[in-house]
């Protein structure tokens, strides 16, 4: 989440619908398949893309997961096999898309951001995921390996819940649901960090806290950019009638939509809270400055006049009568004492001490 | 209200519609029933859940209150008895839901936050409450014991008002009305605190006031998160035609809706007010800093030059004619006096004194 | 306008539609009646509430004004006589309602805030007024005596304008129009204050100005809370077809609506202006601080090194050759002069002087 | 544009539809007429109001311009002649109306603000103008003489463009178009000022710049108040079908509407820019403060310890061995030099120098 | 992008639909033509405007690019040849239009801003481009030479993609698509700058960074003004049915619209980020000030009292017993040491060191 640049880097002027031809150092796409119905489950990896054709017409539900969207050659082939629209392929191949949903005749196409918290780097990592829902298959395209779908795989394997008994649109739904659920984990992490910062702030505001606060604000800004369009996408699932999605599954989308709204609410609260903390920080800094200045002023105000007095009696005028007074020195000390005490009383009254 | 984390902690990837299985240390659910018609009232606790079945088909109105939504086993059983949808049960069992209303055929399901002011901890405590309205029963699910419904119970027992004579939708309404009415108490508490802070601020801005102000802003943020969705919920009650709610009762919901809007208005005013107070605080701090700096500057500006002068006549040059002057010392003192007086006049003119 | 608390203080949990039973120290309601048609005018006070019945069926237009909504007993009786809905009576009896309009069959019910500027206390005073429009009567309920309706009474008495010739809905309109017109006076007062503050700010920013500015921001926040909902109310009068209001009168409401929009525009401008003034204040304070610091720095920077120099030649080392130099003292003085002049030139260049 | 008060000063409680009776010192209205068709043009002043009647039924297009809306007597007469609605006349006679358009049967009534930049006073002057479009005449009411319509008059006189060939609605359009075009001049002035301020700010932030910036923000606020409602007005011309305006003319209004939107865009940019400049100013002030404080701190930190050292050797203890050392003085000087150099190195490292 | 003035400088009061007659120093328009179908391509420059007529009725698709919209004479002639509406010609000839689309019977007219990053001046340069889509031609009017369309020309020449096979509406689309794609490059530049600033800020906040940040905020404000209306324009292409655009091409506009929304999202994030950076800057400045003040205070607090002490024993009173004490000097030094150490301990405790 370092980069603040927009990722959509299709070379300006490229023919629309063209796959971005990256430096082909990109590793080849890695494809796994889970093909199931209530009774049976087939799970395998594929290297020969032609084998994919059978899943297009199979009567089982097939979840075809492709890791590595940089492999434009494989993408084109898959596009050919499943009749994917050229604009759709372009969207898959270019990272940094805005979350959206598109309806292509018998296919439904959704692009989302898969967020996960990278504990090592202590930051949020974003990966674009594109999901295509076809009549009896779901294609999921990920930028790289490693995802949040292990629970889904587990449920398919163990036949838990209604997943194995349901058509492909329910699988489509559970994938999206899992992605959105992961956002809560991110929020929880941020919430924890905010609480830590708050505690630290109230104890002792330091510049480190400020930087941490800033980096959280930064994360919130980038999260917002991911999640606001997501809400629109899910609203479409809830409100519009996509023929690819059965009414039964549509009711489930209502639930995911509710979660997104809740996520946005929380995000906004976090924004407000971090704003409030910044105010608190600034005020604390001002207060500390005041405290420092008070010390300086008290010390200066007491001793600068006294120093002047001492300076006076350190002068070498031949005729300074006080100097010859036997008790002159003691009178001087007494005067100093009186001045100090009355000054302190004055500052006490002014509540500077 | 300490935690700023989102509470919706369904383990990501759990099958949707699954009850959250908490560590089962959770105490068993505690169920109380008030079953009444105009003529009679039955009030009891239930331990054997099977006894609940009779209230589903009774021709009295039954209010079944369940304390302890952590007891997932009881929840499932109750869900079975009253045919509660699995998503609905999930929402009940997971704390931290966004307020919402759902329509399930013959049942209406509302989730709200029950706020109360905890005088001991001096903070607002939030508890989720889920209310199910069925044909002749109302189920209310609370996270824990202790609620705001004593006035409702009192009115049922004493047959005050039209509650005893009305069907279950009116009971449903009075419960929600009571919850919303309690929000006014919270606002009143916050309003009082704000007034106290304002008075303190104008008298003498201290860091404690700042922290208090921050904690109020924090509470307002979290209140907002509770109340904004509540408005949407109540708007639905007012505008949409739920077949479970009779037109007579619906007009009452208009009143509750008005109250929520008023609460939100007040909340926004409080936000503005606390923002204004922060500005006032910051300005006061700056003003105090100015006052401090003025003192320092006045003292320094007067005595630093004088000290230099004294230093000059404390030098040990062999030939300093002034030193031999008989009245040198007195001339020196007179000069100092003149300098001090003219400096003071200057500062007076500059309004620094 | 001291209190920032929400006023809606119906004891939480009270049966809806219940009159708030205040400590009955409240003085009894004071009722005046103006009953008129084009030809005749009857004006009187009433103490026996039963006398009100005649005005319900009179063929004259009757304006019944009730001062003192705390007298719940009288309220109930009046409610009975004019068939007022229980929720309506509740709204009348509880101060601090949000402005709103409700349609009860043959009656139209409006709640507004009557604002007036209290010159003595130098603040805005708010009083809730509830107006009921019936077929041939208008009931106006005020919290206490003293209102803004003298011009209306004058016009009724003198038969000026079309008031005496028009049915009750026109009277209803003129009352609301008068209330809204009074808002302009409030705005004018605030506008004057803002101009004064602005002038004072530019002349010399003091802490008093800050406090005044804050109190105006406070008033603007509270005004907003009164006037925003008022706009909604008047929009309803303009747009919706209330059968109690004739089309002729409805066109007049368009005018009042325009005024409210104008009031809101002005209010927003005032908000922006006062925000701009706060910025100006803060910047001025910073500027003054800079000026103060410059003085301190200039004085210190010039004299601290010189004092050091004087200190050096005040040392008692046995062997300090300069001290024995005949012109040592004069060289010292000359050096000081050079240092001072070059310092001043430096500060001049830096524009600190 | 000095006054921030709302101008709508109809005495509260006045009968609606009443002309404001000002102190009749107001000069008499001054009326000029241009009556034309494609072939001929009649241009004259009128003093006897009765002569106006002919233009109501003339088959030429007549543009009747009335300067001086304070002359309520003339206004009434004109109102009578052209059947102007009483509310309309009220709106004309009271300055400070919100821009709006009203449809009165065969007449269309628009109130606008005519802005012009007063180079002498260096401020924007606002004048309300009310325009009535009748079947074959246009009435324009201005507060005082002097307007922006010279180009329109020129086009009528010279038969330039399609004005002379078109019916009254086109004249109506060109008047409004001219008023809106003048807004661009105002914006250009403000844009120039903003650029000047920006240059000055980057060169050297002074308090004068701050005051200028504030006065621009003030102007922007007041402009906003004029222009936002204008947009609504023009949107109505573009969208709604007024039967007084032919479809041909309506397409031209689309153009004016586009201009208003562009004006608002620019205004908002100006707001943002001036906000950014204020931030820049505040930061610059803080930076200057830092620079000042650095100088003070560097000087003090170097010389205060040295002064102490000199003070030590200026003490009169009988037994201070260093004083008797032959090279004591030189060692002292050397030490001072070392201290100064190492301090400077330290500050250099801290980037304070 | 220096100028913040509104560019729309039609002389106020000019007859609407009049071409702005600039000082005719403007160079003559430079016209290039690409006329193609799938089989053939003709590419040429034109100096005699009459030659343009053939392209109006040609059965090839013609892209006529006019550089130099200041040449009002040529513009009029072209307008005549292609029947361009007078308002349309006015919009072309005046720079600084708001992006918009207009439907003129068989022609579709779009005005856009063509942004490009000027690496030399290190700023964004804006050029207005007006595109007219006719039945079989596209006219593009640019203010000056030099544009972003080289990739489009390349694709036409090399027959790459479907451009050569498609009718004029597809060419129209690709031009707009190329313009919008270039916005991403701008955003990338700004994103890079923001990252640089962020890194610099965290390392060491200087006034230069502040100025850079301000200039980016400025650019963002002006970009906003260009891009917001663009979104509206593209929404129209996506939603409305323009008969000049075939449904096939319309689906492509959906893609461009998505890009604009993404651009706006990114822009808003940049705004938030730059706002956050300003906060960070201000806080850093405050922190540095605190650090500076601490140093000053520590030094002053330690040495000012010590200097006073030294001053005391530098006094010339005849009777100061300590001075005669043999170890007086050493006791004095020891006292100073103790004072310094305890002061340092105190500051350590206060975390000022």
Q: State the chains in contact with A (3 or more Cβ–Cβ pairs under 8 Å).
A: B, E
- Nearest CA distance, C214 vs chain B (angstrom): 7
**Would you state the pLDDT for residue B175?**
93
- Report E:244-263 residues touching A (Cβ under 8 A): 251-252, 255, 258-259, 261-263
**Would you state the pLDDT for residue C105?**
77
Structure confidence at residue E228 as a pLDDT band (50, 70, 90) = confident
Measured CA to CA, the distance from residue C56 to residue C81 in angstroms comes to: 8
Chunked in runs of 10, what are the mean pLDDT values of chain D (353 residues)? 42 50 58 91 88 87 89 87 86 84 86 84 84 92 84 87 87 92 89 90 86 89 86 84 84 86 89 90 89 90 92 90 89 93 92 81
- Nearest CA distance, C307 vs chain B (angstrom): 5
| A295-349 pLDDT, tens digit each | 999 999 999 999 999 999 999 888 888 898 888 999 999 999 999 999 999 999 9
The better pLDDT of the pair B128, C17 is held by: B128
Give the residues across from D110 on adjacent strands: D101, D131
Nearest to B269 by CA among C60, C189, A55, C217: C217
Measured CA to CA, the distance from residue D269 to residue D267 in angstroms comes to: 5
Q: What is the mean pLDDT of chain A?
A: 85
**Would you state the pLDDT for residue B204?**
84
Helix or strand (DSSP H, E) at C137: strand C137-142
Measured CA to CA, the distance from residue E175 to residue E165 in angstroms comes to: 16
Q: Does A23 touch chain B (CB under 8 A)?
A: no
Helix C247-312 and helix C207-239: axis angle, to 10°? 160
Backbone angles phi, psi at E81, to 5 degrees: -60, -45
What percent helix, strand, coil does chain A show, rounded to 5?
A: 55, 15, 30
Q: How many CA atoms lie within 13 A of A344 on its CB side?
A: 6
**Which chain A residues have a beta carbon less than 8 Å from that of B314?**
311, 314-316
Nearest to B60 by CA among B31, B80, B34, B79: B34
Position of tokens 């002097």?
Answer: D146
**Would you state the pLDDT for residue D225?**
84
Structure confidence at residue E29 as a pLDDT band (50, 70, 90) = confident
**Would you state the pLDDT for residue A307?**
92
Helices (H), chain D: 53-57, 72-82, 86-93, 150-158, 168-203, 207-239, 247-312, 321-324, 328-349
| C218-258 pLDDT, tens digit each | 889 888 888 888 888 888 888 877 888 888 888 888 888 88
E8 pLDDT higher than 80:
no
- Give the mean model confidence (pLDDT) for residues E70-95: 86
E17 pLDDT higher than 80:
no
Strands (E), chain B: 30-36, 41-46, 61-67, 100-104, 107-118, 123-133, 137-142
Is residue A164 within 8 A of residue A174, CB to CB? The reply is no
A25 pLDDT higher than 50:
no
| C152-173 pLDDT, tens digit each | 898 899 887 788 888 999 999 9
Is residue D335 within 8 A of residue D312, CB to CB? The reply is no
Measured CA to CA, the distance from residue B316 to residue B293 in angstroms comes to: 36
Measured between CA atoms, the residue of chain D closest to residue E299 is D301
**Would you state the pLDDT for residue A35?**
93
Structure confidence at residue E2 as a pLDDT band (50, 70, 90) = very low
| Structure-token pair, residue B328 | 């040198």
Q: CB distance A273–B221 less than 8 Å?
A: yes
C-beta neighbour count of E261 within 10 angstroms: 17
- Report B:138-177 residues touching A (Cβ under 8 A): none
Backbone angles phi, psi at D162, to 5 degrees: -95, 10
Q: DSSP labels for C163-220?
A: TTTS-HHHHHHHHHHHHHHHHHHHHHHHHHHHHHHHHHHHH---HHHHHHHHHHHHHH
Q: Which domains does chain E have, with CATH numbers?
A: 2-283 (3.30.460.20), 285-349 (1.20.58.340)
Q: Tell me whether residue D291 is exposed, middle or buried, using C-beta atoms within 10 angstroms of its C-beta: 0 to 12, 13 to 18, 19 or more.
A: middle
Structure confidence at residue C4 as a pLDDT band (50, 70, 90) = very low
**Sheet containing B123-133: which strands, arranged edge to edge?**
B41-46, B30-36, B61-67, B137-142, B123-133, B107-118, B100-104
| E164-198 pLDDT, tens digit each | 888 999 999 999 999 998 888 888 889 989 999 99
Helix or strand (DSSP H, E) at C44: strand C41-46
**Which chain D residues have a beta carbon less than 8 Å from that of E100?**
258
Measured CA to CA, the distance from residue D47 to residue D33 in angstroms comes to: 11
Contacts of A17 (CB under 8 A, 6+ apart): A86, A87, A89, A90, E161
Q: What angle do CA C287, C289, C292 make, to 5 degrees?
A: 115
Q: What is the mean pLDDT of chain C?
A: 85
**Would you state the pLDDT for residue E103?**
85
Nearest to E199 by CA among E255, E139, E258, E280: E280
Q: Does B300 touch chain A (CB under 8 A)?
A: yes
Q: Does D340 touch chain C (CB under 8 A)?
A: no
Measured CA to CA, the distance from residue C57 to residue C62 in angstroms comes to: 10
Q: Does D225 touch chain C (CB under 8 A)?
A: yes
- Give the mean model confidence (pLDDT) for residues A195-209: 87
**Would you state the pLDDT for residue E174?**
92
Measured CA to CA, the distance from residue C347 to residue C298 in angstroms comes to: 7
Q: Does B20 touch chain A (CB under 8 A)?
A: no
**Would you state the pLDDT for residue C16?**
55
SS3 D129: strand
Is residue E264 within 8 A of residue E231, CB to CB? The reply is yes
Ranking B58-62, E25-29, E156-160, E342-346 by mean pLDDT, the lowest is E25-29
Backbone angles phi, psi at B25, to 5 degrees: -65, -20
User: Which of A282, A292, A311 is facing E297, going by the closest CB pair?
Assistant: A292
| Structure-token pair, residue C334 | 């000359």
| Structure-token pair, residue E36 | 């193609």
pLDDT tens per residue across all 353 residues of chain B: 334 444 444 444 455 555 544 444 456 788 999 999 888 999 998 888 888 888 888 889 999 999 888 888 888 899 999 988 887 888 888 877 888 888 887 889 999 988 888 777 777 888 889 999 998 899 999 987 778 898 889 889 988 778 888 899 999 999 999 999 889 888 988 998 999 999 888 888 888 888 889 989 988 988 888 888 888 888 888 887 788 888 888 888 888 888 898 899 889 899 999 998 998 898 888 888 888 999 999 999 999 999 999 999 999 888 888 898 888 899 999 999 999 999 999 999 988 87
**Would you state the pLDDT for residue A331?**
92
Measured CA to CA, the distance from residue E63 to residue E58 in angstroms comes to: 12
**Which chain E residues have a beta carbon less than 8 Å from that of D255?**
16, 87
**Would you state the pLDDT for residue C50?**
87
**Would you state the pLDDT for residue E137?**
93
Q: Does C281 touch chain B (CB under 8 A)?
A: yes
Q: CB distance C4–B258 less than 8 Å?
A: no
Is residue D81 within 8 A of residue D56, CB to CB? The reply is yes
- List Cα–Cα distances, A137 to A51, A109, E146, in angstroms: 14, 12, 49
Measured CA to CA, the distance from residue A232 to residue A255 in angstroms comes to: 14
Q: What is the DSSP secondary structure assignment for residue E315, as one 8-state letter?
A: -
**Would you state the pLDDT for residue B8?**
47
Is residue B313 within 8 A of residue B333, CB to CB? The reply is no
Interface confidence, given as ipTM, is: 0.77
**Would you state the pLDDT for residue C22?**
41
Helix or strand (DSSP H, E) at C305: helix C247-312
Q: CB distance B5–A195 less than 8 Å?
A: yes
Give the residues across from A140 on adjacent strands: A65, A131
Written in H, E and C, the secondary structure of A222-254 is HHHHHHHHHHHHHHHHHHCCCCCCCHHHHHHHH
């Amino acid at each position: 989440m370092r980069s603040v640049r927009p990722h959509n880097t299709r070379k300006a002027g490229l023919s629309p619908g063209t796959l971005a031809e990256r430096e082909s150092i990109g590793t080849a796409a890695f494809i796994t398949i889970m093909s199931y119905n209530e009774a049976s489950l087939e799970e395998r990896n594929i290297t020969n893309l032609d084998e994919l054709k059978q899943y297009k017409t199979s009567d089982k539900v097939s979840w075809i997961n492709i890791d590595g969207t940089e492999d434009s050659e494989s993408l084109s082939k898959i596009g050919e096999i499943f009749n994917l629209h050229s604009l759709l392929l372009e969207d898959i191949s270019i990272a940094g898309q805005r979350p959206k949903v598109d309806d292509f005749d018998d296919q439904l196409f959704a692009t989302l951001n898969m967020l996960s918290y990278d504990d090592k780097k202590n930051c949020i990592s974003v990966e674009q995921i594109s999901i295509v829902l076809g009549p009896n298959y779901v294609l999921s395209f990920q930028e790289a390996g490693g995802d949040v779908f292990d629970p889904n795989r587990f449920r398919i394997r163990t036949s838990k819940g209604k997943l194995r008994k349901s058509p492909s649109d329910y699988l489509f739904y559970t994938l999206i649901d899992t992605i959105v659920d992961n956002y809560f984990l991110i929020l929880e992490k941020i919430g924890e960090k905010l609480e830590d910062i708050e505690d630290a702030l109230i104890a002792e505001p330091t510049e480190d806290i400020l930087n941490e606060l800033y980096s959280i604000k930064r994360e919130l800004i980038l999260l917002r950019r991911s999640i606001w369009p997501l809400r629109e996408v899910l609203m479409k699932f809830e409100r519009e009638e996509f023929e690819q999605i059965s009414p039964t599954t549509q009711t489930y989308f209502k639930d995911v939509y509710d979660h997104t709204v809740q996520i946005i609410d929380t995000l906004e609260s976090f924004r407000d809270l971090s704003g409030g903390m910044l105010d608190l920080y600034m005020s604390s800094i001002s207060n500390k400055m005041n405290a420092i200045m008070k010390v300086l002023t008290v010390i200066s105000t007491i001793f600068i006049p006294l120093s002047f007095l001492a300076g006076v009696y350190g002068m070498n005028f031949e005729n300074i009568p006080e100097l010859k007074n036997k008790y002159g020195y003691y009178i001087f000390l007494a005067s100093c004492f009186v001045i100090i005490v009355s000054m302190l009383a004055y500052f006490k009254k002014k509540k500077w001490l």
